[in-house]
Amino acid sequence: MTSDHTTTWLFGRLDLSSLPIWQAIQSPAISELIAGAAAMIVIAGAIAVIAFITWLRAWRSLWTDWLTSTDHKRIGIMYCVLALVMMTRGVIEAVLMRAQQADGLSGGFLTPEHFAELFSTHGTIMIFFVAMPLVAGVINYIMPLQIGARDMSFPVMNQISLGLTATGAVLVMSSLVFGKFSTGSWAAYPPYTGLAFNPGPGPDYWIWSVAIAGIGTTLSGINFAVTIYKERAPGMTLFRMPLFCWTVLCTSIIMIFAMPPLTVATLMLAADRYLDFHFFTNDLGGNMMNYVNLFWLFGHPEVYLLVLPAYGIISEVVATFSGKRLYGYTSLVYATMAIAVLSFCVWLHHFFTMGQSANVNIAFGIASMCIAVPTGVKVYDWMATMYRGRIRMTVPMIYVTGFFILFVIGGLTGVILANPTITYQVHNTLFLVAHFHNVIIPGVVFGLLAGIHYWFPKAFGFRLHEGWGRVSALLWIFGFSFAFLPLYVVGLMGMPRRSANFNDPAFEPLMLAALFGAALVLSALAALVIQIWVSVRDRDKLAAPLGDPWNGRTLEWATPSPPPHYNFAVLPQVKDRDDFAAAKANGRAFADTANYGDITMPKNTALGMIICAAATLLGMALVWYIWWLAMLSVLTIVVAFVARTFMLDTTYTIPADEISREHRAWLARVRAASPITRDRETDDVNQGLAVLELPETLKASR
C-alpha cells in the first residue's frame, strides 16, 4: 500500500483542502473569511467550554450528575441548554442572511453558495436542533411532574434520545470545521442533493444529522406516549390531566407516526448517494417527486408537533396568570386531537405547484383550511379564560400576548396560502418565509419561552429576573414584527426566497427594515442571556424554593423547587382536574402522611453517552467515507446495547426514612414561611408560597 492509499483508507475523502480555515488562508475573500472565522469560533468555543469546566472542576459532577443521569428533569434541562446554544448559531446566521439581503441590491458580501449554505444550516438547525430539543426538553421536565409520575416509562431510552439529538447537533456544528454543510435547504430536495449534482459531503452531513436525530425523536415520542398511558398517578384520569399533557400526548403521536416518513426519505436519499440506488435520480426510472411527497408527509405534522406543546404551555400560563380555571377544557382537548389527526391530511399544500391536477390540490387545500377551525376554538377558549380574570402581566404573559396578536396573523396568512390559486402566485417568495416564521416564532418560540420563564423557578429554585425578561420579551415581539411583517409585502412584490441578491430597488427599504428587526431579535437573545446571568447572580434574592411561586394549579407546583429525584415523596392521590388548586382550596395541600415507602429509581448509566459518541463517529465516518470507522461505530452501538441487556442491577432504592426526612424538612419550611399575595409575586419576598385568592377561596367556601 502506498502512503496515499493509507491516508485514503484512514481518512476517507477528508483532507486539508476540505477545511474552511485552510481555504480562508488560501483565498481570503470575505465569504471564505466568514467561514473560516465560524470554524475558529466553533473550535474556540469548544476549547473555552472545556477550560471553563476544568476551571470549575466540574468534570466529575458533569459526568455523574448530568451526562449519565436518567432523571427526566436533568435530561430535560440538557435538551434546553442544547437548544439555546444552537439557537445562538441559528440567530447569528439569520442576521448574516438579513445583512446580505439588505445589501442585496449591490450584490452583498456573500457568495450565493455561502448564502445557500446559511439558509440550509439555519433552517435545519432551527427546526431540528432548536425547536425540537426545546419542545423535548420542556416536555421531559414538566410532563411527568404534571401527571404525578416518578420518571419516564423508559428512562434509559430517554437518555439515548437525548444522545441521538445531540449527535445530530454535533454533526451540524462539525460541518463548520470539517468541510461544508449542504446548500440544499432544510428540505434537501433531490436531484439537487443527489450525487450527480452535489458529490461533496454537504448533503451527507444533512442526511446523517437529520436521520440520527430523527430516530432519537421517534424514541422520545414512544417514551412520552407510554409514560402518559401508564405512569399517571392514582386518580389522574386522562380527563383530569393538565392540558399541556394532552398536547404532549398528541405531539408524541405525531413523533411516532410522522418521523418514519423522514427516516424513510433520508435513508432512501442516502441509498441513492452511497449505494447507487435510483429512488430519486433523474435517470433510470427514479422519481424525485416521491421524495417531496415523503418529506412533507413528515414536514407538515412536524410543525404541529412543534406548536401543540406551545398551545399546551399557553393554556397553562393563561389559566395561572388569570387566576382562573381553564375555560373550555374539553373543547381544547378535542381541538388538540382534531389538529393532530388533521395534520396528517394536509401535507400536499407544501407542493401545490408540483403539477398534480386541480382536484387533488383543492382536496388538500380544503383540508388545510379546516385546521383553522380547531385552532380558532383554542384562541377563543384562551380569550374566555382571560375574560374577567385578574390578569398579571408577568413575562410569560407578555410572550403570550405577543403570541395572541402575532400568531393569529400568521394563521390567517396560512389560510390564505391554503388556497392553491394563491399559492401559485406567491410560491417560493418571501411571502412564504414571512408566513412560516410568523407561525413558528410567535407560536412555537414565544410559547416555549413563556414556558421556560413560567417553569424556570420549578427547575432551579429561583425565579428569572423580571426586568430583563420584559426587555427580552418586548425585543422579541418588536424584533419579530420588524423582521418579518415587511417580508409579506416584499413577497407580494415578487421577491423570491433563497436568493442572495436582487435587482429591484423597491425591495431595498423593506429589506433594511427586516435587517433592523433581525438586529432587534439578536438583542432579544442577548437580553435573554443577560437575564439568565443576572438571575443566576441574584439567585438568593430570587429564590423560591417552596415550590409554588405563581399560585399554580397543577401537580408540578406541589413539589419543592427543584423537585427531588423521585419527584413526589408520596404519589399524589388525584381528586380533581387542576388538583393542586383544589387541594390548596380545601386544605389538602402540603399534607404530611404516615406512609412513606421506599422508592426505587433507575441508576445512572453511560449507555446514552456511549451511543452518542459512537453515533457521532458513525455520522462523521459516513460523511467522509471512512469505512473502517463506520463499521467500528456500528459494532460499538450494537455491543453496547446487547451488553446493557445483560445488566440486571439497574435500579437503586431510596429508603423511606430519607424520603420522609427530606419531605418533612420541606413541609416545615412551608409552615414557617409567610404566604404572599399575587401583587407581590415578582418581589423578592416570593418564596414560593401563595395566599389563596379568588376564585378558589370562593369555591371552597361555597
Partner 1 sequence: MRHPGINLGEHHGEAHDQAETLVFGFWVFLMSDLIIFGLMFAIYVTMANPVGMAGGPGPKDVFDLTSVFIQTMILLTSSLTFGIASLAMRHEQGRGRIALWLGVTLALGLGFLGFEARDFANMIGMGAGPSRSGFLSAFWGLVPLHGLHVSAGCIWIVVMLIQMRTFGMIPIVKTRLLRLGLFWHFLDLIWVGIFTIVFLAGISA
Partner 2 sequence: MNDLDYRRELRDYLIGFGLAFTLTVGPFAIVAWGGLDRPTLLIFLGACALVQITVHFRFFLHIDLSRQKREDLQLILFSVLLLIIMAIGTIWIMGNLAMRM
Q: Which does 309 bind (CB under 5 to 8 A by kind): partner 2, partner 1, Cu ion, none?
A: none
Using the Cα atoms of residue 40, residue 43, residue 46 and residue 49 in order, give the sign of their dihedral.
Answer: negative
Residue choice 19, 42, 99, 271 for contact with partner 1 (CB under 8 A):
271
Determine if 454 is a binding residue for partner 1 (CB under 8 A): no
Q: Which is nearer to ligand HEM, 143 or 445 (CB)?
A: 445
Site for partner 2 in 325-354 (CB under 8 A): 344-345, 347-348, 354
Determine if 689 is a binding residue for partner 2 (CB under 8 A): no
Q: Which does 566 bind (CB under 5 to 8 A by kind): Cu ion, partner 1, partner 2, none?
A: none
Determine if 286 is a binding residue for partner 2 (CB under 8 A): no
Residue choice 20, 90, 108, 286 for contact with partner 1 (CB under 8 A):
286
CB of 252 to partner 2, least distance (A): 12
> At a CB cut-off of 8 Å and minimum separation 6, what does 34 contact?
96, 110, 114
Q: Which does 352 bind (CB under 5 to 8 A by kind): Cu ion, ligand HEM, partner 1, none?
A: none
CB of 372 to Cu ion, least distance (A): 12
Site for partner 2 in 492-531 (CB under 8 A): none
Element (H, E) at 600: strand 599-602
Q: With contact defined as beta carbons under 8 Å apart, do 305 and 439 qualify?
A: no
Q: Which is nearer to ligand HEM, 83 or 268 (CB)?
A: 83
**Gap between the Cα atoms of 232 and 573, Å rounded:** 10
Q: Cα–chain-centroid distance for residue 53?
A: 25
Mask 195-234, x = binds partner 2 (CB under 8 A)?
A: ----------------------------------x-----
Q: Which residues bind ligand HEM (CB under 6 A)?
A: 91, 94, 97-98, 119-120, 122-123, 126-127, 130-131, 185-187, 433, 437, 440-441, 445, 483, 497-498, 518, 521
Q: What is the 3-state secondary structure (H, E, C) of 115-141?
A: HHHHHHHHHHHHHHHHHHHHHHHHHHH
Determine if 505 is a binding residue for partner 1 (CB under 8 A): no
Q: Which does 344 bind (CB under 5 to 8 A by kind): partner 2, partner 1, ligand HEM, none?
A: partner 2
Q: Which does 146 bind (CB under 5 to 8 A by kind): Cu ion, partner 2, partner 1, none?
A: none
Mask 640-669, x = binds partner 1 (CB under 8 A)?
A: --x--xx-x---------------------
What's the half-sphere exposure (Cβ side, CA atoms, 13 Å) at 282?
Answer: 7
5 grid coordinates: 492509499
Q: Give the phi and the psi of residue 462 in degrees, each rounded to 5.
A: -140, 155
Element (H, E) at 290: helix 288-322
Interacting span for partner 1 (CB under 8 A) from 42-50, 286-294, 413-421, 469-477? 286-294
Site for partner 1 in 289-328 (CB under 8 A): 290, 294, 297
Residue choice 278, 575, 588, 644 for contact with partner 1 (CB under 8 A):
278
Instruction: Write 624-628 long-range contacts (CB < 8 A, 24+).
Output: 624/11, 624/12, 624/13, 624/14, 624/178, 624/179, 624/201, 625/12, 625/13, 626/10, 626/11, 626/12, 626/14, 627/12, 628/9, 628/10
Determine if 106 is a binding residue for partner 2 (CB under 8 A): no
Using the Cα atoms of residue 11, residue 17, residue 18 and residue 21 in order, give the sign of their dihedral.
Answer: positive
Q: Which does 287 bind (CB under 5 to 8 A by kind): ligand HEM, Cu ion, partner 1, none?
A: partner 1
> At a CB cut-off of 8 Å and minimum separation 6, what does 501 contact?
100, 101, 104, 105, 106, 107, 108, 112
Three-class SS state of 421: helix
> At a CB cut-off of 8 Å and minimum separation 6, what does 239 contact?
330, 333, 577
CB of 106 to partner 2, least distance (A): 41
Buried/exposed code over 544-582 (b: 16+ C-beta within 10 A; e: otherwise): bbbbbbbbbbbbbbbbbbbbbbbbbbbbbebeebbbbbb
Determine if 355 is a binding residue for partner 2 (CB under 8 A): yes
CB of 480 to ligand HEM, least distance (A): 7
Determine if 287 is a binding residue for partner 2 (CB under 8 A): yes
Site for partner 2 in 356-375 (CB under 8 A): 356-357, 360
**Gap between the Cα atoms of 291 and 293, Å rounded:** 5
277 grid coordinates: 440506488
Determine if 627 is a binding residue for partner 1 (CB under 8 A): no
What's the half-sphere exposure (Cβ side, CA atoms, 13 Å) at 418?
Answer: 20
Q: Which residues bind partner 1 (CB under 8 A)?
A: 153-154, 218, 221-223, 225-226, 229-231, 256-257, 259-261, 263-264, 268, 271-272, 275-279, 281, 283-287, 290, 294, 297, 642, 645-646, 648
